[in-house]
A and B are shown apart, each in its own frame.
Chain A
């Protein structure tokens, strides 16, 4: 739900139901990074009700476009985090497997010069 004025669509408050700090803080962060935004913030009117109000004020662009772009950016960021994370886990598993092999071969040969800390 968007609360705004028909004449000036560069400032609006978006009321999202069934949401909480999880998405509101993340969207607020990406909104802040956008240079078109003069003000953005979020509030939770009452903690028992799952509703979030996100306020966006821009330098002229329609607020809903800016919000949409911010959400897109957030999605891309999360996608990138996911890729990087998967690669890091694979890399860790591979290097651990190699380490396990190395230790095995050293135990058999009795050489522990690799044991450095």
Chain B
């Protein structure tokens, strides 16, 4: 703005106008920034305006500061059972929520059967199919009590759980179903003896097995009273006809879902945006009853206006 010599032009700033809201977005822009609208054909405004300089020309600081996040963030648990849980997170962005979901599915460790030593399998289920099915059986144990087993480590009581399965169907008896409660926990480690080259080894020394437990897992305080068993005892593993037998030993180790889905602790995890229903006009009486009964999940509630009219 040019200033004439000796003349003082009044500098006019647009921010001095009375109706420009300072430091706050206009209501329709605020709606655009914070809500995903569902149009007839597709939802709009789905991308969140994350860029810190997004509304800079209006004087708004869109950069999120940690204290603002900490103040506004809330968690509300809707449902909490032993096997599933639903909770609302208010004030968080979809990017972080999605990261949590991905971590839940792929990067939380659990214990699952990895190596299966099959001594005898005359059933119609092939060895590898049987081993695959055993790997998918969920085990009821806290994985935080165990360490990871790497290639250089020896399997010991801190990183391996040993199960044994020995089922036989006698000739003449009907077919039996092998369920997951047939897996017995061996707290003292493997019982299968390794074949050693040394035929002249002294028989007084303990034979070498496939694990090197220095102490029994029963002595660990968490396992004193609780046996380690599969979570569900009625998972069908195999079926045996008469005269068939399965004898095997299974070693369970710690792993994450990224390596193999058997180590994923969740059946699934998902998130969605919380829906917000805004009624554009007041609905009363019979129409209100009709609308309430139409919704299968009881979203609507009717409140009495006091005059005998009912309003949604």
Contacts and interface: CB of A to CB of B under 8 A. Distances in A.
Interface of A: 20-23, 25-26, 28-29, 32-35, 37-38, 73, 76-78, 80-81, 84-85, 87-89, 91-93, 96
A20 B61 CA distance: 30
B126 interface: no
B87 A37 contact: no
5 contacts: A25-B95, A25-B99, A88-B76, A89-B77, A96-B80
B34 interface: no
Contact of A35 (B53, B80, B93): B53
A19 B149 CA distance: 22
A28 B99 CA distance: 12
B80 A92 contact: yes
A29 B80 contact: no
A92 B81 CA distance: 11
A22 B102 contact: yes
A78 B76 CA distance: 16
B96 interface: yes
Q: What are the nearest 7 A-B pairs in CB distance?
A: A92-B77, A29-B95, A88-B75, A32-B50, A26-B99, A22-B102, A33-B64
Contacts of A28: 95
Contacts of B98: 21, 25
B103 A22 contact: yes
Interface string B92-136: 110110111011001100000000000000000000000000000
A96 B79 CA distance: 10
Given A37-B52, A77-B69, A26 B95 contact: yes
Nearest to B95: A29
A92 B63 CA distance: 33
A114 B70 CA distance: 35
B12 interface: no
Given A81-B92, A89-B77, A35 B99 contact: no
A26 B96 contact: yes
A22 B107 contact: yes
Interface string B268-303: 000000000000000000000000000000000000
Q: Tell me what chain A mostly uses at the interface: helix, strand, loop, or mixed.
A: helix
A35 B63 contact: yes
B50 A77 contact: no
A89 B103 CA distance: 19
Interface in B40-67: 50-53, 61, 63-64, 66
Given A22-B106, A35-B52, A89-B77, 15 more contacts: A21-B98, A21-B102, A28-B95, A29-B96, A35-B63, A76-B66, A77-B66, A77-B69, A80-B70, A80-B73, A81-B73, A81-B75, A88-B74, A88-B87, A92-B80
A88 B66 CA distance: 20
B300 to A, nearest CB: 12
A34 B77 contact: no
Contacts of B89: 81
A37 B52 CA distance: 8
A89 B80 contact: yes
B271 to A, nearest CB: 13
Contacts of A32: 50-52
Contacts of B96: 26, 29, 77-78, 81
A25 B48 CA distance: 13
A17 to B, nearest CB: 14
